[in-house]
A and B are shown apart, each in its own frame.
Chain A
C-alpha cells in the first residue's frame, strides 16, 4: 500500500514544486487541500501543476502521475478544515502545510493572521485528527525579522518583525513547537525565486514583487515625465556589498522533500543558497531588466530628492 501525504497550499509557488518533487521522489498518493475558484479544486490544481511542469524541467510525462496520484480536496483555510478528515483515507504519514498569505500590507492584517496563524492551528488540528506521524511546515527565513548576525536553526525567541506577515509566521512556528502530538520539521526558505535553469515563476511575491513595483514606478513616472527615469538614476541608501539570499524554487522543493524523506527529528531547516549575489549586483540586474539605469548608491538619505524618497518608501 502506497504512502499517503496531505498537503495544503498545493497551487502556490513552493507548494506546486513540492508536489512535483514528492511525485518524483516517492510513490505516495497526495491529498491536496485546494480552494476552488473559477474552476473546480481538481481542475485548478492540475492546471497549475501542468503549467509548472511545462515551465520547469520535469519530464512532461509527470502530468500522468499528477492525474493518477494527486487528489484535490476542496478546502479553504479560512473555513472549517478539520471536518475534512472524513474525506481523507486513514494511514496518512506526513502532512505538508504550505498554504500562506504572502501579503504584508497592514490593511490585510486580519486576513494574514487568519490564514497564517489560525490556518496553521487548523492544519495542526486536521493533522491530529488524521493521526499523522509528522508535520512539515513551510515557514520563511523572514521570521528573523530585524534580527542581525547569525540566525540559528532554532525557535525564534525575541524578534522584532518588520510587518504583519513576518509576525504571523513567527506565531505560526510557535504553534508548531508547542504541540506534542506529532513530529515536526520547519523549513525556512530565504527569498524564493524562479526555477534554477528555466527561471520560470508563477507569482509576483518576494523579489518579483519588487520587480513589479519597479515597473509600476517607472510607468507612473512615464505618465508624469516621460523619459526622466531613463536619464536620471534613482538614489538608494543600501549597502551594495551585503549578500542577498535568493534561492530557486526547485532547490527549495528538492531539499525539503529530501529532508522529509530522511529520519530527521523535530528540527528547523534554513533552505538558503550558499552562492548568493550582493545587493548591488541584484539591483543592477533588476533595474536593467525593466530598462532603467542602475540605482545610484548614496551614503545617507539626506541626498534623496523627492522621487528617491517616493521610490524608497516601499
Chain B
C-alpha cells in the first residue's frame, strides 16, 4: 500500500508550489486539486463522502461528475488558472459539454494522455462492487500510484482545510503537511482568484435562497436576492459581472480565519507523528507565480 500524504491549507497559501516540487520526485504521485473539483469547489463535501456504501459506478459518478459551478466558470471563460484540461480546444470535453471533475486538473497534471487514463480509470472503478467511499478512494489512489510506479501519493487541493475532517476520517493513517501563509497575504491573493470569488458568491446566494442554486431549481426566495447577486444564478450568469464584482479582502480575511480555526481544531486530534506544519514564508526561493 502506498504512503498517503495530504498537503493542506487555506488556499492561496503556497501549497501548489509544494505540489509542483513533489511532482518531480521519482517516488511521488502528485494528485493535484482532486478534492477541489470532486467537491465542486468545496460546496458539495458531504456528497463526495457518502456515509453509505456505494458501488463502483456510483463512485465513478462522484469523481467524474460534471459539476455545475466549476463548469459554468469554463463556459464563461473565467476558469481558475489551475484548470489544465484544454477545454477551449478539446473535442471530447469542452466548455459546452462540461469537463469531468477528475479531468479538470488531476489527470492532465499527471500525464499528457489524460483522456486515455480517464477511460482506464473508468473501467477499473466501475468494475468495483459495493464499498465505502473510503475504500473506493483508497482503491483509486492506490491504482493510480501503481499505474505510475510510485510508492507515495500526495493529494493537494486549494483550500483543503475545509475538508480535513473528512480526509482524516477516510484516511486515518495518512500524513498531513499543513502549509501556513500570512492570512493578510492569503486574503489578498484570494481576492485575485476566481475560484474563491465563486465560492463566496455561492455562500451568499445559498443563505438567501435556502438552497444551493447550482444544485436546486427552487427559487421560492429569489425576490430576497439583492440586485447585485442576480448575475450569479446559473440561469442568469454573467462572466462580465463576475469579473466586475469586487469581493473585499476583509471577507477573504474572515474566510481565512474561519478555515484556520476550524482546521486547527481537527489537526489537534491528529497524532503529532502524522502531521507537519510548514510556513510558506520560510520556503526559500519562492517563484513569483505563487504569490
Contacts and interface: CB of A to CB of B under 8 A. Distances in A.
Contacts of A226: 258, 261-262
A108 B223 contact: yes
Contact of A224 (B230, B248, B251): B251
A306 B262 contact: no
Contacts of B262: 226
Interface string A293-314: 0000000000001110010001
A146 interface: no
Contacts of B230: 107
B204 interface: yes
A54 interface: no
Interface residues of B: mostly helix, strand, loop or mixed? helix
A261 interface: no
B126 interface: no
Contacts, number: 49
B228 to A, nearest CB: 10
A225 B258 contact: yes
A252 to B, nearest CB: 23
B254 A105 contact: no
Among the interface residues A108, A223, A226, A314, which one has the most CB atoms of the partner chain B within 10 A?
A: A223
B227 interface: yes
Contacts of A305: 250
Interface stretch (A150-158, A212-220, A235-243): A212-220
Interface in A199-242: 204, 212-213, 216-217, 219-221, 223-228
A203 B224 CA distance: 13
Given A105-B226, A106-B227, A306 B258 contact: no
Given A106-B227, A227-B261, 19 more contacts: A105-B223, A107-B227, A213-B224, A216-B207, A216-B224, A217-B207, A219-B207, A220-B203, A224-B254, A224-B258, A225-B257, A225-B258, A226-B261, A226-B262, A228-B254, A228-B257, A228-B258, A306-B251, A314-B226
Interface of B: 200, 203-204, 206-208, 223-224, 226-227, 230, 248, 250-251, 254-255, 257-258, 261-262
Q: Would you list the 7 A-B pairs with minimal beta carbon distance, nearest first?
A: A225-B258, A306-B250, A219-B207, A225-B254, A220-B207, A223-B203, A216-B207
